[in-house]
């Protein structure tokens, strides 16, 4: 089943008097880009979070928000981060020195930096215990996210199948004319050359026929049409395969655009030209939809 790259998921787990909440939001992206938003004292969990998400998702930009509610079973004692306090004070002192009307650094200035005061128990709390809760909440969020991506992917697949069916009908229309194109061009060229040579020196009829046939052959679109039909069949097969298929479909669409453009240039037939315009419009819609597939 194909999946969209857009979706939202939320998971929550209660442990140690706290309710841990993980929220995930994903949007289109060429690759998998993960952006966890973690408090400073939980930065050590970032690599584990990235690995867990990579095990479930293949493409998309994924933003993660981690929060918690409630009060820990053991009330944490507050403590000062001396290194950061000294650094912030130095920066504020430097800033005060370059202001037109400098003023001394006061306590209320320092208290605006929340990370200067930390909870001692939280800072020293067992990372494994926290990870147990976060990983469970993350797994729940990923389940909901994948469900939403799957539902959107199914809706997109239905629309894509409709567009593919219309492309197939237009290809049948072109196929019905493709065998006639070389002969039509050959006749047009023969008539035109005879008009140009009517009052000129007689030419070798055999040589003339050979040149006309060569020029008409260059207008033969059957080879491009066969490749385009093959790409369409491959597109349908890829759409039915499980797992990420977005990049493969993007490549096939590029090839389908190329063959369609060549057919439009070579054919020189009004009915085929109209079919080519229709196919290009359908391929453009397909490209917009495929860009949202994992």
Largest CA distance in the chain: 108
Q: What is the pLDDT of residues 14-49, one digit of tens each?
A: 988 889 999 999 999 999 999 999 988 889 999 999
229-255: pLDDT as tens digits: 999 999 999 998 888 999 999 999 999
Give the per-residue pLDDT at 203.
56
Residues 6+ apart with CB under 8 A from 275: 170, 171, 173, 174
Which domains does the chain show, CATH number per domain?
7-74+125-148 (3.30.230), 78-119 (no CATH), 151-290 (1.20.120)
Residue found under tokens 């495929």: 290
Query: Taking residues 105-124, what's their average pLDDT?
Result: 58
Would you state the pLDDT for residue 146? 96
- Grouping H, G, I as helix, E, B as strand and the rest as coil, residue 43 is helix
| Three-state SS at 252 | helix
pTM for the model stands at: 0.69
């Amino acid at each position: 089943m194909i999946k969209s790259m857009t979706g939202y998921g939320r998971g929550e787990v209660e442990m140690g008097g706290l309710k841990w909440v993980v929220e995930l939001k994903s949007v289109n992206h060429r690759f998998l880009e993960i952006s966890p938003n973690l408090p400073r004292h939980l930065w050590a969990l970032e690599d584990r979070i990235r690995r867990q998400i990579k095990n479930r998702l293949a493409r998309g930009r994924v933003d993660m928000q981690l929060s918690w509610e409630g009060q820990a079973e053991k009330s944490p004692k507050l403590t000062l981060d001396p290194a950061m306090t000294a650094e912030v004070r130095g920066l504020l002192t430097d800033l005060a020195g370059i202001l037109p009307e400098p003023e001394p650094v006061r306590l209320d200035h320092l208290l605006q930096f929340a990370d200067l005061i930390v909870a001692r128990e939280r800072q020293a709390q067992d990372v494994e215990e926290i990870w147990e809760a976060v990983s469970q909440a993350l797994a729940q969020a990923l389940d909901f996210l994948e469900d939403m991506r799957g539902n959107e992917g199914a809706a997109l697949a239905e629309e894509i199948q409709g567009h593919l069916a219309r492309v197939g009908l237009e290809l049948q229309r072109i196929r019905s004319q493709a065998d006639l194109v070389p002969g039509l061009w050959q006749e047009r060229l023969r008539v035109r050359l005879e008009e140009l040579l009517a009052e000129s020196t007689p030419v070798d009829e055999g040589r003339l026929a050979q040149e006309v046939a060569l020029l008409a052959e260059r207008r033969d679109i059957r080879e491009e049409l066969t490749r385009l039909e093959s790409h369409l069949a491959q597109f349908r097969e890829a759409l039915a395969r499980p797992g990420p298929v977005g990049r493969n479909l993007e490549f096939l669409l590029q090839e389908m655009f190329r063959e369609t453009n060549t057919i439009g240039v070579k054919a020189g037939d009004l009915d085929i030209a109209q079919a080519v315009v229709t196919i290009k419009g359908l391929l453009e819609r397909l490209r917009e939809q495929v860009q949202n597939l994992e």
